[in-house]
Structure 1
Amino acid sequence: MRGFRAGRAIAAGALALAAVLGAGGWAADTQTPLTGPPPGSAAWTADTSLGLPLPDPATAAPGRVASFFAELTRQQQDALAARHPLVVGNLDGAPVELRYRANALALAAERARELALAADPARTPQDHAAARTRAERYRTLLEGGRQVLAFDPRGRGQVAEVYGDLAAARRTAVIVPGSDIDLLDFDRTADPYGTPAGMARALYEATGRQTAVIAWAGYTTPVGLGLDAATEDLARAGADRLSRLLDGLAAATRPRTPPTLYCHSYGSVVCGLARPTPARASGVVVLGSPGMGVGSAAELDPDVPLWATARNGSDWIGDVPKVRLLGLGHGADPTAPGFGARPLPATGSHGHTGYFAPGTASLAAYAAVALGRA
């Protein structure tokens, strides 16, 4: 009997992998998660210009960072942002408005660097094209007073953008995206509601602009459908970064209520593994979920409400078995009655990325949750 059960487990694990790979094709380029402190941290910690040690980005808790900046004058804060824009712009716990200013400086500097690479005769035509693409992305992020909360050009790049006023909004929300999202795919015109920026804009408008929404592309996501998408390594690294983001928001903005998390696809694994507490989140909403890395809602904090969006009939994620065996798969289906999540409707939505489309029952429900009316 034991051998039979082991055989069933192996078969189920193989089925989970085959289903994930078969849904969209094999992706062989396994990703290495971006971890650790922001770029430029060594120069930051060596800076003695203020006559006092600066908090180490690798070890200082966001609360410590917030206390440090609270003791500085506006001129001292701006001087640090000018000297270390990539550190200040990514430092959870630093004042939000200061991070916006720092990231604008970092984006401008990186755009100039990419334009220089695009004109470098020693580079290949492919290098030139890639540099022009990134320079154009940086240009768009610098336009129109966009509020960039985080910007890291390393690897595929990471970014977070705020819609609304984090300081004044009564309630806040964070969009946690799934696979194939990075700096270049953070906000695209094709499939807009499949991107964190498109989801955030839709939610912001659906709440009557009463909720400040963060579009967070702040972790290394899987590319395509392969082992990265079928396993939890990237999600675990993302969960650590998400937890730090939430701690930083609490320290820097002191919100009336913590944010509600909206976790799409693989992002729901990130949210599940983060196991948010009431101090970090006022609720979690999952949509297009392959599982949350847990067997049921009972494994999560009972004081953080969990909602699961009904899966529409054209969402391919429904073809992925909800198992978690031999390191493959992400656990039980959050939409199943026995999982323990509160149900949300999906009427009017289409496909894997259509849940935030205007006019859908799902977006209306998300707005109600964000406003505390669910």
Structure 2
Amino acid sequence: MPTWQQLRDLKLSDYTTAADGYGKVSSRADAAKGRVDNEMLSKLHETQESDASKAAVGDLSRLSRNYQYLHSECGLIRTALNGLATELAGPQKKLNQALEDAVNLKFTVNADGSVHFPAPVPLLTVPAQGATDSPRPPLLPDPNQAKAQDIADRIAGAVGDANEIDGRYAGTLRKLKAAPGLDVTDAMLTDAAQDTKDVQKATGHFLPESAIPHDKSAADNRAWWDGLTQEQRDEYSTLYPERIGALDGLPSPVRDDANRMVLAQSHAQVDIDLQNLGPEPSKMIANPSGSYPVAITNPAWRTWNDSKNRLNAQLKGMDAIQKRFDNTGKEGLPQAYLLGFDTKGNGHAIIANGNPDTAKNTAVYVPGTTSKLEGIGGDINRMTNLWNDTQGFPGSPSTSTITWLGYDAPQSIVPEAMEKHFAHEGAPKLNQFMDGLATAQGGPDASHTTVIGHSYGSTVVGDATLKGHLGADDIVVAGSPGMLVGDARDLGIGKDHVYAEAAGDDPVPLGGKIAGLGGHKWGVQTWHGIPYDAGYIETVPSDEAFGAHRMKTDTSGHSDYWNSNTQSLHNQAAVVVGRYDQVKE
């Protein structure tokens, strides 16, 4: 507990100097991680396939994990020290002002914080003529006593404030330490996540989460970010990685750095949660009621199994994202950027091949029914295949292909995919992301942008055009059940910039027409002889009446439009790079 003398003599510059040192270590660790991931590992992936190279990859991956941990923990220490110095500056200033007032009044401040002041000079009066007794001096209030009490109260208040601040930070700073050794374990990463929460609580007055924009436009988000100093940006990124990683309009490298920390800590926590599940309970138990059936499913097993399946599903998705990171450099594949990630509900992720901020061509892929974090690997592969195909066009400028699982997709064909509310809820999120993408790129004309919708994802894309400005130069849909409009002209970008693919044996376009996700009513129909109540069939993008370019498709079924070495994929790549003359209709 500091005394007023310690508070007076405290050199806050010692804290800020130490904070600068930890900040430099944090920044250097982050830069070193980038070099390991995007230079060393990518080169090994590109050129080496030996057992020795695999061992080197393992060592470098551990080194990358170490750097990431250093980046986070040292960043937290920097933020805590800066917060401590900033907050203590207030009580110290309050104390120094009180001490200065005491000096000016010639008061003495005692070691215990009490204030001594000189006794007043009594006021003497001349006795009246003929008076026999001299009157006593009148008792007047001593103004120095009130002044001294005020100074003592201010000194006590300053020391009390400093004690509260010191207590709030001291416990948090003591926790910011690492275990010895070279391995960053899951336990260390989950501890780092708890450290982040502790520092958030301690620095709430210094670096409040409420200052981060919420439900603002991408332009507002970027204006807030640009208004911060570099040190403040680093502190916010370290302290609130989930919020910064999800903030549309910020530079992609910033969001990627924040989201990778969230991913690493989430993966570690899921690993630990799986270990803590314990052994599998008996699946069947005797019926406690004694009636038929004699055995029933054990409720404890059902809870255990549901938790195991949920956690394994999350791990599968996170491992797929990490695999894409690890594949950087293979066959020229560019660095990946994680522009969004969380495990809420079925999970969400946004992954870019190449930096979209600097790409001259950008493609954003919106997946459809049954999409969730567990299956993100397939969606990532589709955009990887698309990126690879765009590289086959001579002279094409840089391209970034993005998997956008930023909405809650329907998880069943019937009844969920028949409902429109998934599109209504996802469309504003897509528009916000697209707005943020253009903001980070430097404006709507900085990159030629194509939005690609698969299955129900095309319905989300259609609704996004109805709810705001999608920000796309071209729209491509594959296996679309309908876009909530009946004509390509209704999408707001001109029908010459709308492209559709539908395999001959893909049942979804017909099913979508019956479900009512199109916009124009036609004659009464039946589907496979099954009557339906709507009494009409609606247009979908693959219908000639819709007015879109109907691209040649040489793939089969509902999910093969992104298979390598196919015309279906090549047509999409031609649109993405603006080589419309190469599209076969």
TM-score by length of 2: 0.51
Q: Which residue of structure 2 aligns with residue 219 of structure 1?
A: 407
Q: Which residue of structure 1 aligns with residue 579 of structure 2?
A: 373
Q: Unpaired segments of 5 or more residues in structure 1? A: 1-39, 188-194
Structure 1 pair 153/121, CA: closer, same or farther in 2 (3 Å)?
closer
1:307, distance to aligned residue in structure 2 (A)? 2.7
1:134, distance to aligned residue in structure 2 (A)? 2.4
**1:369 is matched by which residue type in structure 2?**
V
CA distance in 2, matches of 1:137, 1:312: 28
Is 2:264 the counterpart of 1:100? Answer: no
What's the CA shift string for 1:262-290, capped at 9, x where partnerless? 11111111111111777711110111011
Contact 1:93 1:252 in 2 (8 A): yes
CA distance in 2, matches of 1:290, 1:229: 9
For these two proteins, the number of residue pairs brought into alignment is 323
CA distance in 2, matches of 1:335, 1:124: 45
CA distance in 2, matches of 1:138, 1:314: 33
Is 2:347 the counterpart of 1:157? Answer: yes
Q: Which of residues 459, 468, 475 is equivalent to 1:284?
A: 475
Higher relative contact order (CA 8 A, sep 6+): 1
SS at structure 2 position matched to 1:286: strand
Q: Which residue of structure 1 aligns with residue 390 of structure 2?
A: 207
SS at structure 1 position matched to 2:385: helix
Structure 1 pair 186/112, CA: closer, same or farther in 2 (3 Å)?
same
Q: CA RMSD in A?
A: 2.9
CA distance in 2, matches of 1:121, 1:180: 27
CA distance in 2, matches of 1:320, 1:53: 46
Structure 1 pair 140/337, CA: closer, same or farther in 2 (3 Å)?
closer
CA distance in 2, matches of 1:132, 1:362: 33
**2:474 is matched by which residue type in structure 1?**
G
More helix by share: 2
Q: Which residue of structure 1 aligns with residue 435 of structure 2?
A: 247
Contact 1:175 1:262 in 2 (8 A): yes
Percentage of identical aligned residues: 27
CA distance in 1, matches of 2:537, 2:255: 35
**1:228 is matched by which residue type in structure 2?**
E
**1:112 is matched by which residue type in structure 2?**
A
Q: Which of residues 204, 215, 220 is equivalent to 1:64?
A: 220
Q: Which residue of structure 2 aligns with residue 25 of structure 1?
A: none
**1:299 is matched by which residue type in structure 2?**
D
Q: Which residue of structure 2 aligns with residue 134 of structure 1?
A: 314
TM-score by length of 1: 0.78
Is 2:456 the counterpart of 1:266? Answer: yes
CA distance in 2, matches of 1:300, 1:121: 49
Q: Which one has the largest radius of gyration?
A: 2
Q: Unpaired segments of 5 or more residues in structure 2? A: 1-196, 279-302, 327-334, 393-397, 522-532, 581-585
Is 2:377 the counterpart of 1:197? Answer: no
1:368, distance to aligned residue in structure 2 (A)? 1.0
CA distance in 2, matches of 1:165, 1:92: 15
CA distance in 2, matches of 1:183, 1:155: 9
Larger deviation, residues 271-280 vs 358-367? 271-280
CA distance in 2, matches of 1:227, 1:205: 36
Structure 1 pair 72/234, CA: closer, same or farther in 2 (3 Å)?
same
SS at structure 2 position matched to 1:186: helix
Q: Which of residues 76, 79, 82 is equivalent to 2:235?
A: 79
Is 2:358 the counterpart of 1:168? Answer: yes
Contact 2:472 2:493 in 1 (8 A): no
Q: Which residue of structure 2 aligns with residue 353 of structure 1?
A: 559
Contact 1:164 1:204 in 2 (8 A): no
Contact 2:356 2:441 in 1 (8 A): yes
What's the CA shift string for 1:89-125, capped at 9, x where partnerless? 1111122111001001101111122122112257835
Moved over 6 A (4+): 276-279, 325-330
Q: Which of residues 499, 506, 515 is equivalent to 1:315?
A: 506
What's the CA shift string for 1:179-198, capped at 9, x where partnerless? 111111111xxxxxxx4212
CA distance in 1, matches of 2:442, 2:536: 37
CA distance in 1, matches of 2:389, 2:423: 29
SS at structure 2 position matched to 1:357: coil
Structure 1 pair 121/343, CA: closer, same or farther in 2 (3 Å)?
closer
CA distance in 2, matches of 1:133, 1:52: 31
